[in-house]
Amino acid sequence: MSQASNAALRARDLAHVWHPCTQMKDHERELPLLPIRSARGVWLTDHDGKRYIDAISSWWVNLHGHAEPRINAAVQAQLAAAPHVMFAGLTHEPALRLAEELVALAAPGLTRCFFADSGSAAIEIAVKMSFHFWQNSGRPRKTRFVTLANSYHGETLGALAVGNVELYKAIYRPLLMDVITTPSPDAYQRAPGETAVDVARRRGAELEALLAAQADEIAAVIVEPLVQCAGNMRMHDPEYLRIVRAACTRHGVHLIADEIAVGFGRTGTLFACERAAITPDFLCLSKGLTAGYLPMSVVLTSEDVYRAFYDEYAKLTAFLHSHSYAGNPLGCAAALASLAIFREDRVLERNRDTAALLEKTVRAAFEDHPQVAEVRCSGMIVAVEYVRERETRTPYDWRERRSLAMHRHALERGVLLRPLGNVLYFMPPYVISAAEIDTMVSVARTAFDLALQDR
């Protein structure tokens, strides 16, 4: 293993690498890059030997901890057998076993799996498939997509177009297809006296009216069930999903569920849609699919959708979309090992206790703080929304970069946090222990206080 120091690696990195979602200039002064030598369980170790708790599961992908022995073994076995083969014309047992297991686990009616290599690619596929379905079905005017305010679906042009986070989107607007944006059922924005369910019903009624008026030109509604993760961890009541599902069915519009971040137990159930007992027309999965091991995604859809593409080749109705690494066997092996761990370790059951402890610990540390507007939770996601002024919920000016300061103070003390906007959140690997929760939250509280000190 490399004995290079943090400093040596930082210098080499800055010479040639360009990192995702980063103003590279920040890494010269404000926030030194963190070179990681090894990762095990919830811990990351840098090249100077310092350890950090990965409180955000490495961008929400990790589930069972880093270097999980059973997943390592499964990937190694597959590496020896066949690391990769193309997935057009060829098939392999890891992919078909994974498809069988996903179909068995997903909501009834989702029977077909289309594999790809990233979350954004899964969104592109769902969007193209829905559009194409209507073309193949004699409804060529149904070409538009409805998206929720504050939603995030990825960075490729189609995914960016159906997303709604201005920071990522604004500059590219001339390149993006036009979408219809409907208000989010975000419970943080409830009016005085309103409950989360009330907001869900109010926003659901608005969506229903939109579909009633424009369903002729709408292909699909795309939703992140329960939590808009990149949209500052805003949460809504499952009632909204029931209303949207019913409205889509009534008006002949597809429902695309983007469970890229919330799938695989993050919100408490294996899939977030289970909380509303609904079946979307398209279910997009990635991130936790391989438990944070390999880039892979899948779109599950119905027999009804599949049938609209199925015909003689000469009819030219096939879905001719592809990615070179679609169905990658190593990714499938990791995903199968992860699903086995869910069963063997009764992960969802264990997570109920872990999530309760995490929530209790975060509430105790943050809820009464004068700069905390809300602590909200959904399974293994706990978010703390902070504000300059609690009464009016006035946020800090983004130029103050309080979240960057929080991130830096936490890193210095051995916890990897990466607050989003004005939201500090915890989304740890499921294997985090009670002692590690304590350390993580107490470091976060210290970093929080330091970052919010007046300047």
Crossing angle of helices 93-105 and 329-344, rounded to 10°: 40
Specify the amino acid at residue 258: D
User: Binding residue for ligand PLP (CB under 6 A) from 222, 261, 273, 372?
Assistant: 261
User: Binding residue for ligand PLP (CB under 6 A) from 64, 153, 275, 408?
Assistant: 153
Taking the CA atoms of 316, 318, 321 and 326 in sequence, report the sign of the dihedral they define.
negative
Nearer to ligand PLP, 153 or 245 (CB): 153
Nearer to ligand PLP, 110 or 229 (CB): 229
Report in angstroms how near the CB of residue 147 gets to ligand PLP at its nearest: 12
End-to-end CA distance of the chain: 42
User: Binding residue for ligand PLP (CB under 6 A) from 6, 57, 78, 120?
Assistant: 120
Contact criterion met (CB below 8 Å) for 105 and 339: yes
From 91-99, 147-155, 341-349, 431-439, span contacting ligand PLP (CB under 6 A): 147-155
Q: What is the DSSP letter of 89?
A: S
Nearer to ligand PLP, 258 or 359 (CB): 258
Report in angstroms how near the CB of residue 307 gets to ligand PLP at its nearest: 27
User: Binding residue for ligand PLP (CB under 6 A) from 35, 41, 94, 119?
Assistant: 119
| Distance in angstroms (rounded) separating the CA atoms of residues 240 and 246 | 10
Q: How far is CA 427 from the centre of its chain?
A: 11
From 67-75, 169-177, 257-265, 347-355, span contacting ligand PLP (CB under 6 A): 257-265
User: Binding residue for ligand PLP (CB under 6 A) from 43, 114, 152, 188?
Assistant: 152
Taking CB atoms, the residue at the shortest distance from ligand PLP is: 119
User: Binding residue for ligand PLP (CB under 6 A) from 35, 154, 204, 263?
Assistant: 154
Say which residues have a Cβ less than 8 Å from residue 229's Cβ, sequence separation at least 6: 60, 152, 261, 262, 381
Which residues sit opposite 425 in a β-bridge?
A: 383
Q: What is the DSSP letter of 378?
A: E
18-29 burial, b for 16+ CB within 10 Å, e for fewer? eeeeeeeeebee
| Distance in angstroms (rounded) separating the CA atoms of residues 5 and 406 | 24
Q: Is residue 281 close enough to count as binding ligand PLP by CB under 6 A?
A: no
Report in angstroms how near the CB of residue 227 gets to ligand PLP at its nearest: 9
Q: Is residue 286 close enough to count as binding ligand PLP by CB under 6 A?
A: yes
| Distance in angstroms (rounded) separating the CA atoms of residues 155 and 260 | 13
| Distance in angstroms (rounded) separating the CA atoms of residues 385 and 424 | 6
Nearer to ligand PLP, 243 or 257 (CB): 257
Crossing angle of helices 69-81 and 329-344, rounded to 10°: 150
Q: Is residue 118 close enough to count as binding ligand PLP by CB under 6 A?
A: yes
Angle at alpha carbon of residue 108, lines to 102 and 110, rounded to 5°:
55
Q: How far is CA 250 from the centre of its chain?
A: 28
Report in angstroms how near the CB of residue 287 gets to ligand PLP at its nearest: 6
| Distance in angstroms (rounded) separating the CA atoms of residues 299 and 117 | 11
Residue 423 structure tokens: 């939201």
Q: Per-residue contact track with ligand PLP, 211 to 230, x per CB under 6 A?
A: -------------x----xx
User: Binding residue for ligand PLP (CB under 6 A) from 258, 281, 385, 436?
Assistant: 258
Report in angstroms how near the CB of residue 122 gets to ligand PLP at its nearest: 7
Report in angstroms how near the CB of residue 128 gets to ligand PLP at its nearest: 15
User: Binding residue for ligand PLP (CB under 6 A) from 146, 233, 260, 291?
Assistant: 260
Report in angstroms how near the CB of residue 153 gets to ligand PLP at its nearest: 5
| Distance in angstroms (rounded) separating the CA atoms of residues 440 and 414 | 8
Q: Is residue 267 close enough to count as binding ligand PLP by CB under 6 A?
A: no
Q: Write the Ramachandran bin of 288: left for phi over 0, alpha for psi from -120 to 50, otherwise beta.
A: alpha
Total of chain residues touching ligand PLP, rule CB under 6 A: 15
Nearer to ligand PLP, 6 or 232 (CB): 232
Report in angstroms how near the CB of residue 29 gets to ligand PLP at its nearest: 27
Residues at the site binding ligand PLP, with contacts judged by CB under 6 A = 118-120, 123, 152-154, 224, 229-230, 258, 260-261, 286-287
